[in-house]
Amino acid sequence: MSLRIWIWLVSLSVLWGGSFFFAKVALVELAPLTVVFCRVALAALALNLVLLSSGRNLFRAGAPLRTYAAMGLLNNLVPFGLIFWSQTQIESGLASILNATTPLFTLLVAHFVTHDERIGGLKLGALFIGIGGVAVLMGADAIGTSRGTAGQIACLGAALSYAFAGVYGRRFARMGVAPLEAATGQVTLSAMLILPIMLVVDQPWIQPVPPGPATWAALAGLALLSTALAYVLYFRILAAAGATNLLLVTFLIPVTAILLGALILGERLAPRHFAGMALIGLSLAAIDGRIVRFLRPAK
């Protein structure tokens, strides 16, 4: 890959890794579903403005609104809600590591619901390594019912939802929907879906103290940087380097999240968390064939 692609990949990892930091800051004063709504609503506003500036309208006749809604549910509403709630229980760095299991769940989901992506011997071995990494991450606490265990399970549920979204989202290419329009559609419908749920569950009007400047800054960063800008960069990398190279960002996101959590939030992870992350990284490298290509002798 070119230096430009690597710069884009690192930039995307910072944007997505920063989302765990921004969320942790916002969750000090706001409930999880409120943070979800602010994230997707502000991102939807920004992306719709970009779409309108290019002469396109999301709500044109024949637009696949139901598909946008389903994608928004799987790719935004459910995983964002689970991850943000989990961050009230566990460190943001640990949440980002568990989120890195998404390709493992995608492998399983694609095996059972598609006809062209079956799990072979190498991928099966990689899957077991990844499962071992998750087990190391969660540790002996997984046997009990601690707050931390519930938060970790929520993160794994979010990764599973992302996996279903990844498989479901392939239909956009077959439907001829442009990447920017697909991104705008899913966050817009996500905001519409989460609004009534957020109002019933969180009841933000009863909050005793209005959010402070740090919370508003975190929400702006979460929506505009980690969602709107990240989606634009994501689709640019996808077009220029392909899905396999884009998977590399999964290795980089926890690094950003852990550094921000440690340097600014004062979080600390146990040695088993880094050991688990190493096993998950090894499994991902095996899944996309990088280890095989590295070990294969040059001809």
User: CB-based contacts of 61: which residues, under 8 Å, 6+ apart?
Assistant: none
- Structure-model confidence comparison of residues 298 and 233, the more confident one: 233
Q: Does the pLDDT of residue 264 top 80, yes or no?
A: yes
Given pLDDT bands bounded at 50, 70 and 90, which one contains residue 289? low
Task: Give the total residue count for the chain.
Answer: 299
Q: Does the pLDDT of residue 128 top 90, yes or no?
A: no
**Lowest model confidence (mean pLDDT) among 181-185, 211-215, 262-266:** 262-266
- CA 25 to CA 222: how far, in whole Å? 10
- CA 134 to CA 281: how far, in whole Å? 11
Residue 62 DSSP label: T
- CA 21 to CA 26: how far, in whole Å? 9
Which two structure tokens, joined as six digits, stand for 85? 């709630």
User: CB-based contacts of 235: which residues, under 8 Å, 6+ apart?
Assistant: 179, 180, 183
Nearest Cα neighbor of 68 from 183, 198, 211 is 183
Three-class SS of residue 205? Answer: helix
- Structure-model confidence comparison of residues 184 and 1, the more confident one: 184
Which two structure tokens, joined as six digits, stand for 291? 């280890």
pLDDT, position 124: 73
pLDDT, position 73: 94
Judge contact between 58 and 48, C-beta under 8 A: yes
Give the number of C-alpha atoms closer than 13 A to the C-alpha of residue 177, restricted to the C-beta side. Answer: 23
Q: Does the pLDDT of residue 135 top 80, yes or no?
A: no
Given pLDDT bands bounded at 50, 70 and 90, which one contains residue 217? very high
- CA 45 to CA 41: how far, in whole Å? 6
Q: Does the pLDDT of residue 292 top 80, yes or no?
A: no
Q: How many other β-carbons are positioned within 10 Å of the β-carbon of residue 215?
A: 19
Q: Does the pLDDT of residue 94 top 80, yes or no?
A: yes
pLDDT, position 114: 74
Given pLDDT bands bounded at 50, 70 and 90, which one contains residue 143? very low
CA distances from 22 to 149, 199, 262 (A): 22, 22, 14
Judge contact between 148 and 84, C-beta under 8 A: no
pLDDT, position 121: 67
Which of 147-151, 179-183, 248-252 is most confident? Answer: 179-183
- CA 165 to CA 70: how far, in whole Å? 9
Residue 55 DSSP label: T
- Structure-model confidence comparison of residues 296 and 234, the more confident one: 234
